[in-house]
Chains A and B, each alone.
Chain A
């Protein structure tokens, strides 16, 4: 494995980590507010479909982005309706939404474009273009640093940079602002927030709005990268993001590290069908399963205990 290959794998890892990171941060806001969200997958799919469809129809990825975010938000609000307003089971609601999105995107897609549930391919104009600043171009001849700058710093679309910026921003919002204090409190002990005169319902909906927007960005990223929507294109990324969230112990910076790790695993898996370590061959399926296996190990508490927000998963009901 030469240096350039390493750089290329890292570049690919960053590319693959972007939607995971955005989705993971979406889950972070939602779960920090006490709303468990296994419907991340649904939001990703809805956003990928709508952004792909609308970008093709209007010819603008930016309008597509708006549509994708709107679609993701709609699912977020449905989750809120079930789990906040009607105090339903958050897990069941998430499962239901995942099916709803998986079905609706294909049914509507077929009725719309008659392409078996796909959307038409997006032209380069209908996709996000990557950022190619002149300085990395100029640097590309410098050995070692040049290729790294060219592949890693440059060459990504705006959403990757937004995702990276979202990490410190999320940290700052959660731990340095009034909103963040209240949001974390509502995920730990909603009755403390309620008796302090702050609306639990509004805070939880606000968290779901943020989650909806972030998932909308992530879904649009998928559609733009793949030049259109195909059936089930999120391919379990919503669940991997959920795994990354546990891995990250519900913290923004750790979310970055966890999603980069998972992105790296996927990148390696994509590049090599099998990896030989001495006489032993690691099958590609093992690489695919590795994020899930790692998450189970973390969940088992063998490597540091992940303690979720205490009020997570429970609808808030005033005590009598």
Chain B
């Protein structure tokens, strides 16, 4: 018995939830004695007012598209992967290994190789929790949380003891060679006569992220594997009846999830830093949870949510600079978005359902 039209479920509910989240964010801004209107203006100006701002916004959005897709693909199999953060961390290691191991002649060769490296490392890091969930019933939420911490410790060790440049104080790897440099928007758009800001970190990875959205759509809704992932996610007992292998689906869904998170490293490690630094992921894996929830696990929704969070991140940096509102405000907004779109979904949904039933009855009468 569907009580609500599809559009209400897909658009209206997320919209109301986000407005609620922003309303409370506004209250927080007012509570610390600032003007929310000025804050929004500052953020919009900072994020979209210049090609530099746009470049940063899209750079952040690229990260969030990858991690959002990562969380979403697991979620379609009803696996709550909180481990995208750790998987993206390991993806960074994979990308760094690829970039440092070979003196790449050109980015067109380096990028596919780095993608494979990042995806493979990310997937490998997701494999153990996936295997334990599938074979031993260990709850994937807890194991992926544990693996985030283990990833962070492992990264600390590798940077200090393996990749650190001898004699350097900083716990970071050597710079990647020029052949591993990815074209930035500035370089990509110059031939078309568009002068994009030189310092903005947005790079060709953004296009890879868009491509990932398209592939994601076809994978989930048009292929047999996607069909099986969704079927398993909706009802594991029915999937068992149909002969869909539980273990296989859990592991494959998590491998894809980990690979997508690992792919993020072509943006932040290869595209921006051009070397491996500590905590390069900067929480993007966690933002993927908010992005996937907000985007209803659909690539179009994820793309829009990622742009929104890219805007929040870039705008938040501007806020910190111009309005001395700490960047952590973004973390607050992120928490509120997850709270309202995820945990408090029923708070918005139940009254709306009642409303639609009442409207239906009126129509009949």
**A267 on interface, CB distance cutoff 8 Å:** no
Instruction: State which of B221-229, B269-277, B296-304, B330-338 sits at the interface with chain A.
Output: B330-338
**A283 on interface, CB distance cutoff 8 Å:** yes
For B335, give its contact among A99, A295, A299, A308 (CB under 8 Å).
A99
User: Which residues 121-173 in B have Cβ within 8 Å of A in the complex?
Assistant: 128, 132, 136-139, 141-143, 145-147, 149-150, 153-154, 156-157, 160-161
**A233 on interface, CB distance cutoff 8 Å:** no
**A97 on interface, CB distance cutoff 8 Å:** yes
**B49 on interface, CB distance cutoff 8 Å:** no
**A82 on interface, CB distance cutoff 8 Å:** yes
User: Which residues 78-96 in A have Cβ within 8 Å of B in the complex?
Assistant: 78, 81-83, 86-93, 95-96
Instruction: State which of A153-161, A165-173, A195-203, A284-292 sits at the interface with chain B.
Output: A284-292
- Given A91-B141, A102-B328, A107-B32: A236 touches B149 (CB 8 Å cut-off): yes
CA distance A99 to B342 in the complex (A): 13
> Given the complex, which residues of A lie within 8 Å of B338, measured CB to CB?
92, 95-96, 99
Which secondary structure dominates where chain A touches chain B? helix
Is A38 a contact of B332 with CB atoms below 8 Å? no
**A98 on interface, CB distance cutoff 8 Å:** yes
When C-beta atoms are compared, the residue in chain B nearest to A105 turns out to be: B328
Is A283 a contact of B347 with CB atoms below 8 Å? no
User: Which residues 56-108 in A have Cβ within 8 Å of B in the complex?
Assistant: 78, 81-83, 86-93, 95-104, 106-108
For B143, give its contact among A88, A285, A299 (CB under 8 Å).
A299
Is A292 a contact of B149 with CB atoms below 8 Å? yes
> Given the complex, which residues of B lie within 8 Å of A92, measured CB to CB?
80, 289, 293, 338, 342-343
**A111 on interface, CB distance cutoff 8 Å:** yes
> Given the complex, which residues of A lie within 8 Å of B191, measured CB to CB?
none
> Given the complex, which residues of B lie within 8 Å of A117, measured CB to CB?
326, 328
> Given the complex, which residues of A lie within 8 Å of B153, measured CB to CB?
285-286, 288-289, 292
Is B335 a contact of A96 with CB atoms below 8 Å? yes
Which secondary structure dominates where chain B touches chain A? helix
Smallest CB separation, B75 vs chain A (Å): 10
CA distance A209 to B28 in the complex (A): 25
When C-beta atoms are compared, the residue in chain A nearest to B128 turns out to be: A296
When C-beta atoms are compared, the residue in chain A nearest to B329 turns out to be: A107
> Given the complex, which residues of B lie within 8 Å of A90, measured CB to CB?
343
- Given A99-B286, A296-B146, A299-B132: A82 touches B334 (CB 8 Å cut-off): no
User: Which residues 191-235 in B have Cβ within 8 Å of A in the complex?
Assistant: none
> Given the complex, which residues of B lie within 8 Å of A285, measured CB to CB?
153-154, 156-157, 160
Smallest CB separation, A318 vs chain B (Å): 15
CA distance A82 to B341 in the complex (A): 11
When C-beta atoms are compared, the residue in chain A nearest to B21 turns out to be: A96
- Given A103-B335, A107-B28, A107-B326: A89 touches B146 (CB 8 Å cut-off): no
- Given A117-B328, A283-B161: A97 touches B335 (CB 8 Å cut-off): yes
Smallest CB separation, B109 vs chain A (Å): 34
Is B328 a contact of A299 with CB atoms below 8 Å? no
For A295, give its contact among B142, B286, B326, B336 (CB under 8 Å).
B142
When C-beta atoms are compared, the residue in chain B nearest to A78 turns out to be: B339
User: Which residues 233-261 in A have Cβ within 8 Å of B in the complex?
Assistant: 236, 239, 242-243, 246
For A293, give its contact among B150, B289, B334 (CB under 8 Å).
B150
Is A296 a contact of B143 with CB atoms below 8 Å? yes
Is B142 a contact of A99 with CB atoms below 8 Å? no
For B141, give its contact among A38, A86, A102, A293 (CB under 8 Å).
A38
Is B150 a contact of A292 with CB atoms below 8 Å? yes
When C-beta atoms are compared, the residue in chain B nearest to A79 turns out to be: B343
Is A107 a contact of B325 with CB atoms below 8 Å? yes
CA distance A239 to B83 in the complex (A): 13
Is B157 a contact of A93 with CB atoms below 8 Å? no
Is B161 a contact of A83 with CB atoms below 8 Å? no
User: Which residues 264-320 in A have Cβ within 8 Å of B in the complex?
Assistant: 283, 285-286, 288-289, 292-293, 295-296, 299-301, 308
> Given the complex, which residues of B lie within 8 Å of A102, measured CB to CB?
328, 331, 335
Residues of chain A touching chain B, judged by Cβ–Cβ distance below 8 Å, are: 38, 78, 81-83, 86-93, 95-104, 106-108, 110-111, 116-117, 231, 236, 239, 242-243, 246, 283, 285-286, 288-289, 292-293, 295-296, 299-301, 308
20 contacts between A and B (CB under 8 A): A82-B339, A86-B346, A87-B346, A89-B342, A92-B80, A92-B343, A99-B335, A102-B331, A103-B329, A103-B335, A107-B326, A110-B325, A116-B326, A231-B328, A243-B142, A283-B157, A288-B156, A289-B150, A299-B132, A299-B139
Residues of chain B touching chain A, judged by Cβ–Cβ distance below 8 Å, are: 28, 31-33, 80, 82, 128, 132, 136-139, 141-143, 145-147, 149-150, 153-154, 156-157, 160-161, 286, 289, 293, 324-326, 328-336, 338-339, 342-347, 350
For the complex with contacts A38-B145, A239-B149, 10 further pairs of A-B residues with Cβ separation under 8 Å are A91-B80, A91-B82, A100-B336, A104-B332, A108-B32, A239-B146, A292-B153, A296-B128, A299-B143, A301-B137
